[in-house]
């Protein structure tokens, strides 16, 4: 089991306690997650002035010397995506102009990732565009979690560490001691993710939902490939947006005889009407992580939020100490 999934948040890393060259700053997107990461590392979040002008322009000022330091900026580009993305770019630029030795953009949720290729003429590949913006702003490295597709790592012309939230979710699923588990991919594109998830759950069997998408955020489920009758189905995806795909998947799984259905995802985007769909009784539990902050108005009884702060903190420590990151997931 990886160290970050098991160490308590209150346990600092002693090797970082006296290291004043590691600096951690947070944007406004998910300050609570950044505080948990800082607590894991045994350091404080760096002081920073963040405000807006009357016309909405963002102003950032780093309020301590970071000359020659390794700076880590924690900022998921979640809703409102454009505001949080622009804030991250300004933070990067401020650190570059303050002579930071290395700037790492820590992006628990990478927005604009769904447009990762051209599926029709005259489309933008926004996943590459955002990568270019971060590089041009002055980022030296990116740490991202559960990118929408693995090839996005190649869109960066700087080192990109891609980590996964699945160990935290797998730990939780394993602790429930569920019987007759079958891991289900909600579409063909997520098979690799679901297969890796199933392997960590004692090589649980795998099923796939075949669907045909008619438009953005609209999915039509066709059939299930695999045996789910009488079993506990665990639907695995990287994100839940409007929840149309995962709820249609749950319906057909129950039609095919699944005894229980659990939904697991790293990123809880939860665009309307996701909460209404997810709380309609289709799922025993909806298990997500805190890469995106969860407002109280979006919580419902079946929701379970797990923290990835230890995992991110461990990864930051390993990058700073120049040790292996990939070994955490073996």
Per-residue pLDDT of the chain (330 residues; tens, 9 = 90+): 334 444 444 455 544 544 679 999 999 999 999 999 999 999 999 999 999 999 999 999 999 999 999 999 999 999 999 999 999 999 999 999 999 999 999 999 999 999 999 989 999 999 999 999 999 999 999 999 999 999 999 999 999 999 999 999 999 999 999 999 999 999 888 999 999 999 999 999 999 998 766 666 665 657 899 999 999 999 999 999 999 989 999 999 999 999 999 999 999 999 999 999 999 999 999 999 999 999 999 999 999 999 999 999 999 999 999 999 999 987
How high is the pLDDT of residue 1? 38
Q: Say which residues have a Cβ less than 8 Å from residue 79's Cβ, sequence separation at least 6.
A: 269, 271, 292
98 and 113 Cβ atoms separated by less than 8 Å: no
What is the structure's pLDDT at 197? 95
- Rounded to whole angstroms, the Cα distance separating 115 from 112 reads 6
β-sheet bridge partners, residue 73 = 25, 105
The pTM for the full model equals 0.90
CA 157 to chain centre: 21
pLDDT at 222: 72
- Residue 269: which residues within 8 A CB-CB, separation 6 or more? 78, 79, 109, 239, 240, 241, 292
Which pLDDT value is given to residue 217? 62
Label residues 245-269 b or e (16+ Cβ within 10 Å = b). Answer: bbbbbbebbeebebebbbbbbbbbb
How many Å apart are CA 63 and CA 46, to the nearest integer?
Answer: 8
Model pLDDT, residue 109: 98
Residues 275, 242: Cα–Cα separation, whole Å: 8
Check 23, 128, 200, 211 and give the catalytic one.
Answer: 211
- Our answer to whether residue 211 is catalytic in this structure is yes
* pLDDT at residue number 270: 97
Please give the pLDDT value at position 221.
Answer: 54
The SS3 call for residue 24 is strand
């Amino acid at each position: 089991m990886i160290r970050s999934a098991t160490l308590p948040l209150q346990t600092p890393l002693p090797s970082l306690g006296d290291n004043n060259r590691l600096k951690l700053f947070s944007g406004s997107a998910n300050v609570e997650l950044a505080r948990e990461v800082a607590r894991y590392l045994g350091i404080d979040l760096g002081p920073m002035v963040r405000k807006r002008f009357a016309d909405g322009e963002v102003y950032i000022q780093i309020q301590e010397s970071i000359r020659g330091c390794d700076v880590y900026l924690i900022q998921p580009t979640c809703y409102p995506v454009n505001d949080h993305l622009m804030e991250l770019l300004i933070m990067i630029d401020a650190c570059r102009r303050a002579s930071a030795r290395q700037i790492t953009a820590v992006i628990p949720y990478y927005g604009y990732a769904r447009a990762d290729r051209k599926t029709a003429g005259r489309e933008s590949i926004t996943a590459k565009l955002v990568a270019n913006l971060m590089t041009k702003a002055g980022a030296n490295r990116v740490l991202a979690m559960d990118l929408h597709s693995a090839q996005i790592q190649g869109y960066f012309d700087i080192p990109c560490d891609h980590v996964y939230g699945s160990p935290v979710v797998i730990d939780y699923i394993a602790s429930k001691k569920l019987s007759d588990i079958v891991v289900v991919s909600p579409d063909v594109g997520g098979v690799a993710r679901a297969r890796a998830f199933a392997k960590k759950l004692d090589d649980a069997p795998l099923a796939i939902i075949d669907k045909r998408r008619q438009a953005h955020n609209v999915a039509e489920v066709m059939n299930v490939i695999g045996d789910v009758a009488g079993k506990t189905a665990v639907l695995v995806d990287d994100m839940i947006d409007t929840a149309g795909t995962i709820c249609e998947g749950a319906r057909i799984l129950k039609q095919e005889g699944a005894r229980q259905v659990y939904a697991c995802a790293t990123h809880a985007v939860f665009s309307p009407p996701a909460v209404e769909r997810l709380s309609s009784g289709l799922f025993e539990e909806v298990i997500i992580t805190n890469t995106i902050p969860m407002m109280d108005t979006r919580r419902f009884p079946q929701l379970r939020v797990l923290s990835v702060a230890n995992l991110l903190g461990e990864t930051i420590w390993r990058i700073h100490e120049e040790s292996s990151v990939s070994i955490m997931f073996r």
